[in-house]
Amino acid sequence: MIKVIVCGALGRMGSCLIKNMLKEKDLELVCGIEKKDHPELREEWNFQISSDLMSVIKRTDCIVEFTNPKATCEHLKVAANNCKPCLIGTTGFTEGQLKEIRNAAKRIPVLLSPNMSVGVNLLFKLVSDAVKVLKGYDIEIIESHHRYKKDAPSGTAKNLADIIKDIKGEKIPVSSIRAGDIVGDHTILFAGGGERIELTHRAHSRDSFAQGTIQAIRFVTEASAGLYNMFDVLFPNIK
């Protein structure tokens, strides 16, 4: 049985992950971490919600982060000091915070991915193949998310832009839309003379992120210290 702590347990992503995790026979939720204790929820949800990761960390095999960059970096220090693997789904890190994550990964397994879904990770691969073939095409990224999303561009759009920049050597324009309850859409437009190609991924619900996260939990608890992404989990044989 893999014992898991979910940070941001009552948020949009954390609560969706927990709903999906409770159906898995090999995963056990030991505790949810939130900014404040929620004793009133314990009975209804049937698991503990604490604001103090330090007090419960010894009971877990890994921690999962869907909070915000500051909280994630604080929790990561606790995980590293206690030799517990950490899976980070949070987005919006500064360069300094990314450095902290890389340093922690020298001591513990850390899986960092701005998007846990199988579909988006396949999209990363399709985009890199398309950029290599469509030389001279103009490339733009358009991403849409719900009105409450705090970071823009999305972590997924930044990752797509980095993949394209590494191959094409140019910074790619990204347009961000924040509206309604859109779970997450990403389109990469390749426009050439007389034609265009659009690669689009649309998330219909957060279940796709939760299902990828569940696969990542199994991976990260078996891994040795190092920094991993969802390619290591989903497509270990594709480079």
Ligand X SMILES: NC(=O)c1ccc[n+]([C@@H]2O[C@H](COP(=O)([O-])OP(=O)(O)OC[C@H]3O[C@@H](n4cnc5c(N)ncnc54)[C@H](OP(=O)(O)O)[C@@H]3O)[C@@H](O)[C@H]2O)c1
Using Cβ positions, the residue closest to ligand X within the complex turns out to be: 11
| 75 has catalytic annotation | no
Q: Does 56 bind ligand X (CB under 6 A)?
A: no
Residue with smaller CB distance to ligand X, 209 or 228: 209
Q: Does 228 bind ligand X (CB under 6 A)?
A: no
- Kindly state the smallest distance separating residue 118's Cβ from ligand X, in Å: 11
Interface mask toward ligand X for 139-168; x: CB under 6 A: ------------x-----------------
Q: Does 10 bind ligand X (CB under 6 A)?
A: yes
Task: Please state the length of the chain.
Answer: 239
User: In which region does residue 46 sit, left (phi positive, over 0), alpha (psi from -120 to 50) or beta (all else)?
Assistant: left
- CA-based R_g, the chain, Å: 18
- Kindly state the smallest distance separating residue 191's Cβ from ligand X, in Å: 28
3, 38, 149, 168: the catalytic one is 149
* Pairs from 126-132 (Cβ < 8 Å, separation ≥ 24): 126/199, 127/160, 127/163, 127/164, 127/188, 127/199, 128/163, 128/164, 128/167, 130/188, 130/190, 130/197, 130/199, 131/163, 131/164, 131/167, 131/168, 132/167
- Cα four-point dihedral sign 142, 148, 154, 156: negative
Q: Name the one range near ligand X by CB under 6 A: 30-38, 121-129, 132-140, 157-165.
A: 30-38
Q: Name the one range near ligand X by CB under 6 A: 111-119, 129-137, 163-171, 192-200.
A: 111-119
Residue with smaller CB distance to ligand X, 66 or 190: 66
Question: Which position among 6, 57, 80, 116 is part of the footprint of ligand X (CB under 6 A)?
Answer: 116
200, burial (CB in 10 Å: exposed 0-12, middle 13-18, buried 19+): exposed
Residues that bind ligand X (CB under 6 A): 7-8, 10-14, 33-35, 66-68, 71, 89-92, 113-116, 151, 209
